[in-house]
Chain A
């Protein structure tokens, strides 16, 4: 990812990308593990209504996603809130979700939509995690963007 592209990342996501690229491959796994442990639980309104969440089928283990967008006149400026549910026995999937949550929760719709679809390649995880497993990450972002587009249309 070029410096130019990295500038299009919201600040906390850019910081995460830097955290990953600053360390070696095995420490990247450790970082992903720590993030997976920090993924917040679901608020009660989703915990009781899991069927209203969208399943990310591209992940190897079940991951459910919900996106809420704040009300507002200017669609681009409306804040985006992300909610995820994945079982503890799927730490990699939880880690991917946590990257999205830490990096994008609370950002504006325009900033979320501006994240490059392949931003995750800059995390340097393909060697440690394998490219196949990484596809899940691309899918999470694509599904977040779709929901943001629908909510702000």
Chain B
């Protein structure tokens, strides 16, 4: 599929990872393109979605049902095959809440190194705000072949032990300020997901993920993003960065911003995040608004 040549997107380090609503509207229904909706709410897709879009649910489909892990290569191949996604398909993800869950789904697809994955800039909110077409008709894609690809857990994913050896290098905590300081054990207005200690990983910068989103749910411009992550937080594109949140979903959004929009070369998402770290015996924790000593 051709890339979107929208001038706003062209400013980003990897404009090929984003499409505008206009590009998507022009290209809907093209062979080789599958649009996938990923939402926090499991029913939202069913109330209406972009015509032809398939649904990928982060919770019930991308997670292994037993082990706390993502699906394996065989299951992933099945998820793609039944949605009409082959290895050379362009997959455009979009969803609710500033593409929060769409970015997560895109990150999981990236663990399997699916070559052409893109996000719809502005997500579901912008598409509907522009009065673009929605439908409740669920597509019935023709099944295609998808190879069983081994998941790569080294390049863009970090585990607890990786984070322990990473201490002292850049970490970005993308949760809310109250979760960062340790005042809250979960997101404001969200269920408690069982962390027995509050605070953050020592040395982590606090940059709530949604700071990267503009009012209309699109990503902020490259200059605005550079001002936050580079000037304000002092991160450099050559840094080895680990991002984390509570279960790794919000930090997928930040992973997308740092690696695809700002061109950082080594960014990993620690999906164990606070629900693992905050329950682990004898790992270091910092509380309060300061980054803390390693």
Where the two chains meet, the residues of A that have a C-beta atom closer than 8 Å to any C-beta of B are 29-30, 32-33, 36, 55, 57-62, 88-93, 95, 127-130, 132-133, 135-136, 139
Contacts and interface: CB of A to CB of B under 8 A. Distances in A.
A43 to B, nearest CB: 24
B162 interface: no
A128 B42 contact: yes
B43 A127 contact: no
B46 interface: yes
A90 B42 contact: no
B197 interface: no
B179 interface: no
7 contacts: A33-B46, A36-B43, A58-B191, A61-B40, A91-B47, A128-B60, A132-B193
A135 B194 CA distance: 13
A60 B246 CA distance: 14
B191 A95 contact: no
Contacts of A61: 40-41
B196 interface: no
B189 A92 contact: no
Nearest to A59: B191
A33 B44 CA distance: 9
B223 to A, nearest CB: 31
A32 B190 contact: no
Contact of A92 (B41, B190, B191, B193): B41
Interface in B25-47: 40-44, 46-47
A51 to B, nearest CB: 15
Interface of B: 40-44, 46-47, 59-60, 96, 189-193
A22 to B, nearest CB: 20
In the A-B complex, the 9 residue pairs with the smallest Cβ-Cβ separation, listed nearest first, are A91-B43, A130-B59, A58-B191, A92-B43, A92-B41, A135-B191, A33-B46, A91-B47, A33-B43
A61 B42 CA distance: 12
Contacts of A128: 42, 60
Given A130-B59, A132-B191, A89 B41 contact: yes
Contacts of A57: 189-191
Contacts, number: 57
Contacts of B40: 60-61
A107 B83 CA distance: 45
Given A128-B60, A132-B193, A135-B191, A92 B47 contact: no
A29 B42 contact: yes
Given A36-B47, A57-B191, A91-B46, 17 more contacts: A29-B43, A29-B46, A32-B43, A33-B43, A33-B47, A36-B43, A58-B191, A58-B192, A59-B191, A60-B190, A91-B44, A92-B43, A93-B41, A95-B43, A128-B42, A135-B191, A136-B191
Contacts of B192: 58
A8 to B, nearest CB: 26
Contacts of A91: 41, 43-44, 46-47
Contacts of A55: 189
Nearest to A61: B41
Contacts of A130: 42, 59-60
B237 to A, nearest CB: 35
A88 B40 CA distance: 14
Nearest to A133: B42
Contacts of A133: 42, 59
A85 to B, nearest CB: 15
A62 B188 CA distance: 11
Contacts of A60: 40-41, 190-191
A64 to B, nearest CB: 12
A30 B189 CA distance: 27
A11 B45 CA distance: 32
A94 to B, nearest CB: 8
Nearest to B63: A130
Contacts of A95: 43
A133 B193 CA distance: 11
Candidate in B42, B44, B47, B59 with the most chain A CB atoms within 10 angstroms:
B42
